[in-house]
Structure 1
Amino acid sequence: MHYLNRKFKKIQPQLVATTTSYNQNLPQPQLATTTTCYNHNLLQPQHTTTTTCYKHNRLQPQFATTTTYHNLPQPQPATTTTYHKRHKEPPYCSEKDGNLEGFIPDLMKAIEEKTQMSFHLSKVEDGKFGSKNDRDAWDGMIGKVISSDASIAAGPITVTDERKEAVDFTVPFMSVDLSLIMLKQEDGAKKISSAKDLLNQTDLKIGVLKDGSTHSFFRQTKDTTFMKIYEAMIKDETNFVPSYQAGVEKIHKTTTSPKYAMIIESATADYYTVQKPCDLLSVKIINDTRNYALAVAKNWPQKEQLNKSIEELKKDGKLKELKTKWWPSACNGVSKTGAVGGATVFITLGAIFLSLMKSF
């Protein structure tokens, strides 16, 4: 055990006041603890006196984790990286002129203003929300959080029981249902008014987002009707699409029988049904309300700050403002919620990112 005190004098044109402490906790039998304190007393604008003290307990030459706290104001803003699922997935996140924009980037900016945190957004490499693979390991955004490559996974991530076993979630920032999105039906076509009607649609193939929460639901369901729907899905691997955008493109391209339809979250369906060429119909599933939330590591200490800021954004109407901004309607006669005239059909299916934190 030893202490080291040092004083420095130098020309300093700006006033700086920073207190930094480091505490390293190791899962190893021996712990390495380092405490570093900085105290800067500025007597004149051109004169800086700095006192630095170090306290070392050198029982272990390596450490596993580091948490750094900064008292604001800081010389430079704190930086955290947020992973979003894809760089081209409107309305949540898309790329324009080299910059990311959409509901998620705006949401994170709003949280920055509430918490004084700072986030850097980046896309996850495999383009997945996160599911378990054959080795029982998590991929996608959830995998990034678990491996500590990310502090926060931000996107339209559905909160599920399986995911809650691996990560923690904030309070929801959006609630959605499941919807069937398809081309508008021609006069005389068979109308869909129940889940069982999907089984009788010989001219319609049903698909979902590959390895998404809806895919997991159908894969794990014990309901006879849903099992039959899934059995029809797996007969053609192309029914499982890599992104919502790819699914919508497949709907438009499949103009001959059997046509293609996709079961997705209602908020996403609402967006695509009000975009040109205005030829899509959203068939909502009203008995499977699910939530979108930010995913963080288990027991992440800043989660409550995120929760508080999201609740404040709900209360002051900011989340509603962002929804209005990024779900604009480009179609006449179509509401912003995706209902088409009086033709919306309801199906009752029954009850059914961030790189490692640097500083704050």
Structure 2
Amino acid sequence: MRILPLLPPPQQEPYTMSKGSGGELEGYCIDLISELSKKLGFTYKLHLVKDNRYGAMDSSGNWNGMIGEVIKGEADLAVAPLTLTAIREQFVDMTTPFMQTGIGFILRKDMAFEQSAFSLLSPFSTDMWVGLLIAFLLTGLCIFLVGRISPSEWAEPDAEEHSFTLLHSFWYITGALTLQGAGPHPKALSGRLVSAIWWLFAILLLACYFANFNSILHSNNKHVSIKSFEDLANQDVIDYGTVEAGSTMHFFKNSNNPVYRRIYQHMERKKSYVSSMEEGYRLAQEGNFAFIGEAVSLDLAVARYCQLTRSQEVVAMRAYSIAAPLGSPWVKNLTIAILQLSESGELTYLRDKWWASSCMGADEAQTSEALQPHDLRGLFLLLGLGLGVGLLLALLELLSKARNQAKDSKKSCCSVLTSELNWRFGSGGESAEQDTTDKSKA
């Protein structure tokens, strides 16, 4: 059997493509032919259509392309993404469709933005907010520990009340985030160092937040939410177009739907047509452009270019079928075989095989303008270094006091240091305070 797959320049990925340098063919349609031959038990020979066209009727009533070769008897079957149309059905027999499609559009993911009630959080990514929460908790804990450890901050644990409780420590750094002080302030060098680092961190963080928030607020592409063709027609922020003189353009041109008519008039007025689908994909990736085309082809572009997304709305549903000469005895058997392949899930498998996404594991957040933790890693490193140095200074202050007390009391430095830490973090300080209070009352 002579079968025509279509191989236009450039090749129509993923239906029919050259495999290596030996001239072999591969693709969805090649696999489909192979499966049909196994079910029906026929052998076949592939050859490419001469004029690289699907088939259209000229003014004199003659057909070119694949349909023309089938009509002339030069091929027994044409297996390609041939759209099932009324005019073609008059001149050739076509099987039940092996693939359904329609008209949709693709655009950059950030163009399909939808306003959210949580837009105030949009300048920072989710990971960034989690990092900030961790930094806030660690800083509050560090202030608390420095206030407990440093003898300059808490000189007499058995007689004085501790100023920097855990709750006050968090309240103090919260005041810094709002650029408002919350006293009392640290007196020790270690506490002041931690406070200064946190204030610097807060100021730079707020500067980054408001700068990015202003950028998002004034970004033109964030003022629209494009989910459907009506959304596309009702906005003038981004341009849109389709392949010039293609079937998609003729659909909008001949449609009586007012939305589709407005879309066609916009494309005519702006001359926003493209010469090829590849050009449409490129413009969509560059931004401020929505490319309109057949959904099945757009799905392939989305699978290859991770920053693109396809509209959920698909209109003008159409189907791809296999063409055969009028009265061909193969059409009935091919229709049954295609239905069997559909029922067994083989057509779904072939679709998943050739439309497999290369974007698996890609970080979708990279298409967003939200700041990521790695964007401010220097700021987090500065904060971490400041907290570490502050704790170290507090320990050195306590160690210095312990050494002086050890000399005066003729005790070992380690025992005095251990005793101090027990007073500051154990229950000894509270018991001594209670005893002193009871004695004063007596």
Shift of 1:250: 4.4
Q: 1:193 to 1:315 in 2, by over 3 A?
A: closer
Residue type of the alignment partner of 2:256: K
1:247 to 280, 284, 297: 280
1:173 matched to 2:95: no
Structure 2 portions without partners, runs of 5+: 114-221, 368-442
Residue of structure 2 equivalent to 1:75:
none
| Alpha carbons 2:39, 2:337 under 8 Å: kept | yes
Instruction: Determine whether 1:296 maps to 2:219.
Output: no
**Backbone CA RMSD of aligned residues:** 2.9
Alpha-carbon separation, structure 1, partners of 2:345 and 2:4: 24
After TM superposition, give the deviation of residue 306 of structure 1 in Å.
Answer: 1.3
Shift in Å at residue 169 of structure 1? 1.1
User: 2:356 maps to which residue?
Assistant: 328
For the residues of structure 2 that align with 1:153 and 1:209, how far apart are their CA atoms?
24
Alpha-carbon distance, 1:110 to partner: 0.8
- Deviation, 1:170, is 0.2
Q: Is the 8 A contact 2:244 2:274 kept in 1?
A: yes
- Report SS of the residue matched to 2:260: helix
Aligned partners of 2:242 and 2:272 also within 8 Å = no
Alignment of 1:220-235 (within 5 A): 220-235=254-269
**Counterpart in 2 of 1:80?**
2
Q: Does 1:159 align with 2:87?
A: no
Give the one of 75, 84, 90 matched to 2:13.
90
Q: Determine the structure 2 residue equivalent to 1:193.
A: 227
Letter in 2 for 1:231: Q
1:85–1:155 CA contact under 8 A, matched in 2: no
The answer (yes or no) to whether the contact 2:97–2:319 under 8 Å persists in 1 is: yes
Uncovered stretches (5+) of structure 1, i.e. residues with no partner = 1-78, 335-339, 344-360
Q: CA deviation at 1:331?
A: 0.9
Deviation string, structure 1 residues 88-136 (Cα, Å, up to 9, x no partner):
1212222221322111110011111112222333333443333334444
Contact 1:82 1:119 in 2 (8 A): no
Residues 312 and 193 of structure 1, relative CA distance in 2, 3 Å threshold: closer
Matches of 2:97 and 2:262 in 1, distance apart? 32
Larger Rg: 2
Aligned partner of residue 197 in structure 1, secondary structure:
helix
Local SS of the residue matching 1:263: strand
Aligned residues: 253
Q: Deviations over 1:269-301 (max 9, x none)?
A: 22211214x111101334533221112222222
C-alpha distance in 1 between matches for 2:302 and 2:269: 27
Return the letter of the residue paired with 1:262: F
Q: Contact between 1:83 and 1:150, CA under 8 Å: does it hold in 2?
A: no
CA distance in 2 between counterparts of 1:237 and 1:149 reads: 39
Q: Deviations over 1:221-264 (max 9, x none)?
A: 2222212222333446661434x444324434xx36xx433222
Take 1:236 and 1:95, find their aligned partners in 2: how far apart are those partners?
37
2:296 aligns to what?
267
Deviates more, 1:294-303 or 1:101-110: 294-303
> Retained in 2: the 8 A contact 1:130–1:212?
no
Deviation at 1:333, TM superposition (A): 5.8
8 A Cα contact 2:228 2:311, kept in partner: no
Q: Flag the structure with higher helix content.
A: 2
Distance in 2, Cα, partners of 1:160 & 1:154: 15
Check 1:200–1:296 CA distance in 2 against 1; reply closer, same or farther (3 A cut): same
1:326 to partner: Cα distance? 0.9
Q: What is the aligned partner in structure 2 of residue 204 from structure 1?
A: 238
Counterpart amino acid of residue 146 in structure 1: I
Q: Secondary structure at 2:25's aligned position in 1?
A: strand
Is the 2:228–2:313 contact (alpha carbons within 8 Å) kept by the matching residues of 1?
A: no
Identity %: 29
Q: CA 1:251–1:274 in structure 2 vs 1: closer, same or farther (change >3 Å)?
A: same
2:250 to 216, 233, 244: 216
**Is the contact made by 1:93 and 1:103 (CA closer than 8 Å) also made in structure 2?**
yes
| Distance across 1 between alignment mates of 2:333 and 2:86 | 23
CA deviation after TM superposition for structure 1 residue 154, in Å: 1.6
Alignment of 1:1-360 (within 5 A): 79-86=1-8, 88-97=11-20, 98-186=23-111, 188-235=222-269, 239-242=273-276, 244-252=277-285, 255=286, 259-276=288-305, 278-332=306-360
